[in-house]
Structure 1
């Protein structure tokens, strides 16, 4: 089989790179090959090569291509092409693994490099000149049948890197179309406790990648049935799984793009303390933590005045709450809140003494202004006079 001649295969910068390394000494590999065969736009272009990292940098610099030693200890160099950045990794074999990190040695054997990869559909190599694909472990057949299968023994692959359990479910949600591979499922169930040895940050990143897929609901439910989800997100129960399914349906109906953080909120009880604990455990950023907590603070009353909610907490957080509550986004679609016509000076001019009373009055007037549907300046000042009077 051959790789389709997609536009990226004809990039001028990529041709220069291939010429510098030698077409017989490098291959397109992994996701870019897999996605090209599925007619999916490639997110990253990865190249495997027989050359050592130092030789890669020297050859590309001589060809006028700037390089960055992004992971040179593990054989990876990033080439900055006019069209995009491309990662180039020297062929490798694992010498030792501990479930989190691997000690590697360089090799010149393509099959040996393929054998250390996780899934068969990720171990496809394409010659950059002929576009002929090398498939060492049946990845083409698995891609055709929609089967996500570990290379070799599934338990061995997971023992090398425990994160592969979560990667399996992410790839299953994205590419699996048939019955899940029985050996992979059994290995993930058996090895699920080993996820506790990973950093919470790595788990959080992989979980969000899964939740960002178009419809991961059935896969997440399968993870729960296997006991995998309980290890990484013990707060999630049956009700939360149902909330995720309803949320995805609501997103689809509203034409809203998948959002991993909103979906994570669906998998948690609507409690501020739980959201804060999970945010800390998964090493979320401050902005992500605040958004997750806001989603957890949703309540039925939020749906009574969607525009008022938007004015108070912003569009993104309003959409989170309304979608999680199963409410329509139509009232706020394309709507921007008008400016509030009065400030502290107007309140003082109306006869309120300086100090805390000014803020309290502003709050009361604003609450009535929101309840009345954001009337114009004249009515807003009338509300102020009524409250002062």
Structure 2
């Protein structure tokens, strides 16, 4: 691996040169940092760009505004200003050092020492800086070598880094799955296991966000097995055990065979016992959105029955039916029936039944439901067939009233 950031399309984005000039990057006042440098060295796509600078936030804002660049104080309390260039956000953060930490948040002070800023970061591969003009890499802790060796290590003492921010336990396994060879650094793994109980001090939203990011990694299985065997998830998600890992492995195989894109929420469902009540409890504990909680529970409801798969998809949605099929090992032909299919709109309303002579009242909703049931069972026929079904149902209700 070269120790110089290669040219790549992201470095030529419109407005970036003007931004770099505005904050004095070519004079050594600012450098690319973190994920953009890490992924740039690996030749991976770069979406989010972070810049570190010796300038303090107010000076950054003044320089950006003088250059006609929009500046948003998104994290001003932590030294971060977001510049917006051609609709693209770039986070610019003043070099920092930690004054105090409690495992959830840090009190920081500004510094002009690049090494001091690097030392407060989590992993060696995230503490890399690159000169925007030359691409030269500044690497204080062996991050370039770790990238080359597919090694994910904490900077300095792993126990200390975790004590500063307990979320780093989960981040470690996500980065191991993404950038490592699935073999953990022994000191890192030991520290994560020892501190697993500290995850209980974090907000459930942060835990959910990090867990779903891990499940979005193409191959999270080895990292998850380590987490399960090491008791990492047990304090916050005791429902996840080795059987869940096996269900996830089966799901990933089915996704690959069917050519279906992975979904982190579906993968979370696979990790849980196949019980929608447990899914509801976990969704509530993790404070997932109502939509996400509903999808999680639907995925773990009873396996598809004898009704046509499109009928199920009409009732619970295509994504819900796809989740349930993949989690229940239904044959691929059923999945194929859903590919590219959009549930049709029900082509008749209660007003149409009233126009046929059905008196307004509760019978209208009942009759409409029966029409819809037949329409679904017959495979969503056209409006002419629906009209005949409606005539039959209205006649039935009228006879019943006589």
Same fold (TM over 0.5): yes
Structure 2: state its 5+ residue gaps: 397-402
> TM-score under structure 1 normalisation?
0.93
State the Cα deviation string for residues 219-238 of structure 1 (Å, max 9, x = none): 21221111012122112233
SS of the aligned residue for 2:282 comes to helix
For residue 332 of structure 1, the aligned residue among 338, 350, 354 is 338
Task: State the shift of 1:379 in Å.
Answer: 3.9
Match of 2:124 in 1: 120
Task: State the shift of 1:185 in Å.
Answer: 0.8
State the Cα deviation string for residues 144-198 of structure 1 (Å, max 9, x = none): 1111110001111000000000000110111112522111111111110010011
For residue 107 of structure 2, the aligned residue among 103, 106, 111 is 103
Q: Measured at CA, do residues 93 and 362 of structure 1 come closer, stay the same or move farther in structure 2, by a change above 3 Å?
A: same
Match of 1:253 in 2: 257
Write the distance in 2 (CA, Å) between the matches of 1:45 and 1:346.
57
Match of 2:20 in 1: 18
For residue 7 of structure 2, the aligned residue among 5, 15, 27 is 5
For residue 318 of structure 2, the aligned residue among 315, 334, 338 is 315
Task: State the shift of 1:127 in Å.
Answer: 0.7
My pick for the range that moved more, 377-386 or 355-364, is 377-386
Is residue 230 of structure 1 aligned with residue 234 of structure 2? yes
Write the distance in 1 (CA, Å) between the matches of 2:324 and 2:380.
21
Write the distance in 2 (CA, Å) between the matches of 1:305 and 1:239.
30
For residue 45 of structure 2, the aligned residue among 41, 48, 54 is 41
SS of the aligned residue for 1:274 comes to helix
For the Cα contact (< 8 Å) 1:213–1:258, is it kept in 2? no
For residue 282 of structure 1, the aligned residue among 276, 286, 289 is 286
Is residue 212 of structure 1 aligned with residue 213 of structure 2? no
Give the total of aligned pairs. Answer: 388
Is residue 131 of structure 1 aligned with residue 135 of structure 2? yes
For residue 382 of structure 2, the aligned residue among 372, 376, 389 is 376
For the Cα contact (< 8 Å) 2:176–2:182, is it kept in 1? no
My pick for the range that moved more, 355-364 or 221-230, is 355-364
Write the distance in 1 (CA, Å) between the matches of 2:283 and 2:344.
33
| Counterpart mapping for 1:44-55 below 5 A | 44-55=48-59
For the Cα contact (< 8 Å) 2:182–2:222, is it kept in 1? no
Write the distance in 2 (CA, Å) between the matches of 1:115 and 1:26.
17
For the Cα contact (< 8 Å) 1:13–1:83, is it kept in 2? no
Write the distance in 2 (CA, Å) between the matches of 1:188 and 1:86.
32
> TM-score under structure 2 normalisation?
0.91
SS of the aligned residue for 1:183 comes to helix
SS of the aligned residue for 2:68 comes to coil
Is residue 32 of structure 1 aligned with residue 11 of structure 2? no
Task: State the shift of 1:218 in Å.
Answer: 2.4
State the Cα deviation string for residues 97-153 of structure 1 (Å, max 9, x = none): 110111111111111111110000001100111110011101011101111110001
Match of 1:191 in 2: 195
Is residue 146 of structure 1 aligned with residue 131 of structure 2? no
Match of 1:357 in 2: 363
State the Cα deviation string for residues 36-68 of structure 1 (Å, max 9, x = none): 111111121111111111111112222221211
For residue 97 of structure 2, the aligned residue among 93, 96, 108 is 93
For the Cα contact (< 8 Å) 1:145–1:178, is it kept in 2? no
For the Cα contact (< 8 Å) 1:30–1:125, is it kept in 2? yes
My pick for the range that moved more, 179-188 or 288-297, is 288-297
Q: Measured at CA, do residues 102 and 339 of structure 1 come closer, stay the same or move farther in structure 2, by a change above 3 Å?
A: closer
For the Cα contact (< 8 Å) 1:295–1:321, is it kept in 2? yes
Write the distance in 1 (CA, Å) between the matches of 2:43 and 2:182.
19
Q: Measured at CA, do residues 348 and 14 of structure 1 come closer, stay the same or move farther in structure 2, by a change above 3 Å?
A: closer
My pick for the range that moved more, 119-128 or 286-295, is 286-295
My pick for the range that moved more, 25-34 or 219-228, is 219-228
Task: State the shift of 1:76 in Å.
Answer: 0.8
